Amino acid sequence: ILNVEQSPQSLHVQEGDSTNFTCSFPSSNFYALHWYRWETAKSPEALFVMTLNGDEKKKGRISATLNTKEGYSYLYIKGSQPEDSATYLCALSFGNEKLTFGTGTRLTIIP
């Protein structure tokens, strides 16, 4: 069974601070890693899809890195804002269509 782990499970960050969290996965047969941002009562929103070792992607204050050889990805948020409060999901695909999700990191920004 493929195991995708995310840590921490939850995180409280002061507004204005920067933060990061981790997605870990088995490094063999890697295909693509997806990051989603999921606000309560809304649909998960695609942030990044990364496929190459060493990939770095950025969207505004949010960025992500990928290390396929050691099996991890980091998501960074710079200068956290209240609207960043959400659950951040990572998901992997391994040469097929289905996404295998981690448990998510629930981020709460404290004003």
Partner 1 sequence: EPEVTQTPSHQVTQMGQEVILRCVPISNHLYFYWYRQILGQKVEFLVSFYNNEISEKSEIFDDQFSVERPDGSNFTLKIRSTKLEDSAMYFCASSVVRVMGQPQHFGDGTRLSIL
Residue 41 interacting with partner 1 (CB under 8 A): yes
- Report the nearest approach of partner 1 to the CB of residue 73 (Å): 15
Q: x/- site string to partner 1, residues 45 to 74, per CB under 8 A?
A: xx--x-x-----------------------
Contacts for 61-66: CB closer than 8 Å, 24+ residues apart: 64/35, 66/33
> Sign of the C-alpha dihedral, residues 50, 51, 52, 54?
positive
DSSP line for 22-58: EEE---TT--EEEEEEE-TTS--EEEEEE-STT-EEE
Using the rule CB under 8 A, which residue among 23, 89, 92, 109 binds partner 1?
89
Candidates 8-16, 17-25, 58-66, 97-105; binding stretch for partner 1 (CB under 8 A): 97-105
| 3-state SS class at 101 | strand
Total chain residues near partner 1 (CB under 8 A):
24
Using the rule CB under 8 A, which residue among 82, 103, 108, 110 binds partner 1?
103
